[in-house]
Structure 1
Amino acid sequence: MAHLSAPISLPARPIERVLSPFSRFMRLESAGGIVLIACTLVAVAWANSPWAGAYHHLWETPLGFSLGPWTVSHTLHHWINDGLMAVFFFLVGLEIKREALVGELTSLRKAALPAAAALGGMVVPALLYAALNAGGAGAAGWGIPMATDIAFALGVLALMGPRVPLSLKVFLTALAIVDDIGAVLVIALFYTGQIAWGALGGGLLVIALAALANRLGVRRPIPYLLLGIVAWSCFLASGVHATVAGVLMALTIPSRTRIDADEFLEHADTSVHAFRAACERGTSVLTNLRQQAALQGLENATEAAQAPLQRIEHDLHVPVAFGIIPLFALANAGVTLSGGIGGALAHPVTLGVILGLVIGKPLGIMVFSWLAVRAGIAELPAGTGWKAVHAVSWLGGIGFTMSLFVAGLAFPDGGLVDESKVGIFAASLAAGLGGWLLLRRELARARPVAPSDVRGDRQTGLSTEPTERHPESSGAARTL
């Protein structure tokens, strides 16, 4: 069977030609961050405009449904933060599982550096925030500067193009994944109210049923979707934040393929030959039963060669990056600057967030990374030095989405939320700009990338750097 070096090019339909500019934009690594920034600016402008009342009234609109004697009703803001964000955390859980199985967290040696860096990037910012707010009204916000927004951080790296070493991108991704694990634990352990143990037990039982379905070989997404909705409802009623259910459900999604690459090629080759043999002049696939059977065989082989985890993660990327996260920003980023930016910046909560993200994050990442390397349990990313790691450590200070989420949990009554948001905005901007400038200067001093080192896509301008093949696409995944 001939080796295909590029995807098959199909004739463009009229609607595809119309939407092609948007498709090219959505394929950009930084596209999600651009949409997120746009929604943030709209939210801030709207909340400080003559129509500010409409902005706040919109998110407090009640939305619910009734089913017999059961009635569920919450505000639109609540549905976004506790409902749609559960899908975001489900995607985070899928990424965590993938990295633990076939990525940068598969072994202690590979995970040591990003794990140490993430730990430092959580502990030091929390301590700096607490130093300014311990015993005060904003003491509960210590978890706000601990988070890293992986989409924004990788988006800034993408702005540097193919000059950024792949190992540095992998390090930042793994760091952010471990950071997400820490954020989930902090939310579950410290930002949970009174627990209803019966509802929590019911939710954990549903998670166990999903894990059993995985063991029994259930691969279709519908059963997991239905179980996930029940688990989410139980966690919502338990007092443990419902987004934790999203992470736990993600861990039950099957990660094994049913057939390996060789078996897939054999099945695909058989189906293609059968399709070719069934060709008859003047007939259509719509009426040719043998061709339909061959196509169904090829479709079954394609499904069996993909891990459900891989397929679901791929399918969720666009709706989460371009739908859920921008909507979350639109609903939560509307800070009212009635007292002026200067007054907000002088508040201990704002200063604590800025100090934690801009100073604490880089300091914690660098110190803990240095200790891990010095102890001999980790090593620097290939082809990079401490200056490059220092530049990337600044990108870890872009908290944004996760920080906004934790701020809402830390101050549920709305008090001090605006001050924390101002700190998040200012710190994320400073950290992103600082990381970009430092990395730009470091890459300018490094050896330019030779044309043979990077394969570029001339049509889209995107780099197609060679990446490690995940065993999920081969027979190795079947042993996981």
Structure 2
Amino acid sequence: MHNTEKITQVGLKNVFLNFIRSESFGGIFLFISAVLAMIVANSPLSEYYFNFWHIDFGFSFGQHFVGFSIHHWINDVLMALFFLMVGLEIKREVLFGELAGFKKAAFPAIAALGGMIIPGLIYYSLNAGTNSYHGFGIPMATDIAFALGVIMLLGKKVPMALKVFLVTLAVADDLGAIIVIAVFYTSGLNLTWLIGAGVIIVLLIFLNKIGIKNLLPYLILGVLLWFAIHNSGIHATIAAVILAFTIPITPKRSRKNFTHFIRELADQFQIKVPKNAEVDSPSNTYEIAPLSEDQIEVLESIQDRVKSIRSPLGRLEHFLQPYSAYFIMPLFAFANAGVNIGNEIHFDIDHIVLGVVLGLVIGKPIGIFFITFLCEKLRIASRPEGISWGHIVGAGMLAGIGFTMSMFVSNLAFSHPESMEVSKISILIGSLISGIIGVLYLNVLYKLKPKEN
């Protein structure tokens, strides 16, 4: 009975840990953080909530202060780490993943383009000639964590090919959003700092070309690049993406003969049986016997070899992923999603609400469907196997979940607090509607699908 309970506990623990590590949990955690922000912002703690983000954090020497407000630390510094991970993902996908080669990349990349142009045009057409026209980039973005989290919750009701398509589309969308931020949300340029940033970029490329695999010099130059771009007038998170593109993707040691090496060490591990484990003893006795020093050395050799054949890009991405998913993005959501709806909010400021909500809910699926339909008819690229046009529409609906990146663009687009609050509420409404109708639509599509005998 004791052993059964122990096995059950281990099983439940593994299920819980697997769920925590899954992409869907990242989206759920992000949603919880946003809801919590709204609750706190409309509670008796609201004054403390809003004042906290404006507290300066840094150090002073003499008359000079070096640092930022907590809000800027989150939005400019921590989010740079998020953009670094996004840049690493994009580079990996372009070189070896679903964006590698024209045939693979064309369809999702074109879908992402349509999913950015139409929402942007809807917003701009509604706000042209007003002070709010600059927010056209807000409904262009897709939140990869939220969208993937929602589609993963649908399980087997959607084909795996659709999940891959949505992820690839979101990655291409991220690249598009980065370009939009760099081009359209840049203030007056400082030429001196821009030249300095250019010199640092050349040094990063040089390190890559001469085969430096140690991450430390890249990260040091990356910090200097962040400062240079921050002072140049371009948003500093672009520095993280540039850094990501210069991180080497080839490992320190070749993967050649790795399988043979592992097989040899595995044989050594089996031979080096602890002295207190008899050959004819029960299997459970062998399993609980302590490892010998020789066996530990074998395991350490395998660990060292695995590290040596893992690329610097892969190591850095693996290190950043949990921090990004479970700390940076939820913290960003908690710091930015809180809007006090008890205050008088002017929803009639220009057409921000209509522009953002219609851009996300209507513009995304229309843009993604029509541009990919035209793309296939013109034989530029074709749909991935196993995905119907109905699935493309459903993916377009889920792509309307713009949360994190949309919030980020909103901070850049509006300097007036009222406009920013209205845009954030609009993002929450549009993303929520997109998620709900996307799930309902894909559920109905699954039920209408002819059952195979």
Q: Taking structure 1 as the reference length, what is the TM-score of the superposition?
A: 0.83
Give 2:370's match in structure 1, choosing from 344, 347, 367: 367
Q: What residue number does 2:83 align with?
A: 89
Contact 2:157 2:442 in 1 (8 A): no
Q: For structure 1, which segment, 244-253 or 206-215, has the greater mean C-alpha deviation from structure 2 after superposition?
A: 206-215
Contact 2:132 2:350 in 1 (8 A): no
Q: What is the CA-CA distance between 1:307 and the residue it aligns to?
A: 1.9
Verify: 1:331 aligned to 2:335, yes or no: yes
* Distance of 2:191 and 2:16 partners within structure 1: 47
Q: What residue number does 2:230 align with?
A: 236
Q: What residue number does 2:172 align with?
A: 178
* Distance of 1:238 and 1:339 partners within structure 2: 37
Q: What is the CA-CA distance between 1:79 and the residue it aligns to?
A: 0.4
Q: What residue number does 1:441 align with?
A: 444
Secondary structure of 1:50's counterpart equals coil
Secondary structure of 1:106's counterpart equals coil
Q: What is the CA-CA distance between 1:65 and the residue it aligns to?
A: 2.8
Secondary structure of 2:142's counterpart equals coil
Q: What is the CA-CA distance between 1:189 and the residue it aligns to?
A: 0.9
* Match runs of 1:313-324 below 5 Å: 313-324=317-328
Q: What residue number does 1:301 align with?
A: 305
Rate the CA distance shift 1:159–1:19 in 2: closer, same or farther, 3 A: closer
* Match runs of 1:80-119 below 5 Å: 80-119=74-113
* Distance of 1:232 and 1:17 partners within structure 2: 45
Root-mean-square deviation (Å): 2.9
Q: What is the CA-CA distance between 1:350 and the residue it aligns to?
A: 1.0
Rate the CA distance shift 1:345–1:387 in 2: closer, same or farther, 3 A: farther
Q: What residue number does 2:117 align with?
A: 123
Rate the CA distance shift 1:140–1:217 in 2: closer, same or farther, 3 A: same
* Distance of 1:345 and 1:17 partners within structure 2: 54
Q: What residue number does 1:419 align with?
A: 422
Q: What residue number does 1:135 align with?
A: 129
Deviations 1:63-105 (A, max 9, x none): 0135799741210000000000001111110111011001121
Rate the CA distance shift 1:227–1:68 in 2: closer, same or farther, 3 A: farther
Work out the number of aligned pairs and report it.
436
Amino acid at match of 2:430: A
* Distance of 1:293 and 1:258 partners within structure 2: 21
* Unmatched runs of 5 consecutive residues or more in structure 1: 1-11, 451-480
Amino acid at match of 1:263: N
Rate the CA distance shift 1:173–1:280 in 2: closer, same or farther, 3 A: closer
Secondary structure of 2:67's counterpart equals strand
Contact 1:285 1:291 in 2 (8 A): no
Deviations 1:227-265 (A, max 9, x none): 221111211121111100111111111112345555112
Runs ≥4 in structure 1, deviation > 4 angstroms?
Answer: 15-22, 66-71, 258-262, 272-282, 284-288, 290-296, 447-450
* Distance of 1:349 and 1:131 partners within structure 2: 11
Rate the CA distance shift 1:294–1:214 in 2: closer, same or farther, 3 A: farther
Deviations 1:176-208 (A, max 9, x none): 111111110111111011112222222232233
Contact 1:104 1:174 in 2 (8 A): yes
Q: Taking structure 2 as the reference length, what is the TM-score of the superposition?
A: 0.88
Rate the CA distance shift 1:135–1:210 in 2: closer, same or farther, 3 A: same
Amino acid at match of 1:176: A
Amino acid at match of 1:253: I
* Distance of 1:354 and 1:229 partners within structure 2: 37
Amino acid at match of 1:320: S
Contact 2:274 2:292 in 1 (8 A): no
Contact 1:149 1:401 in 2 (8 A): yes
Contact 2:141 2:405 in 1 (8 A): yes
Q: What residue number does 1:211 align with?
A: 205
Q: What residue number does 1:187 align with?
A: 181
Rate the CA distance shift 1:146–1:291 in 2: closer, same or farther, 3 A: same
Deviations 1:15-58 (A, max 9, x none): 99997675233123311111111111111121122221111111
* Distance of 2:309 and 2:400 partners within structure 1: 39
Q: What residue number does 1:52 align with?
A: 46
Amino acid at match of 1:325: M
* Distance of 1:18 and 1:382 partners within structure 2: 36
* Distance of 2:92 and 2:263 partners within structure 1: 29
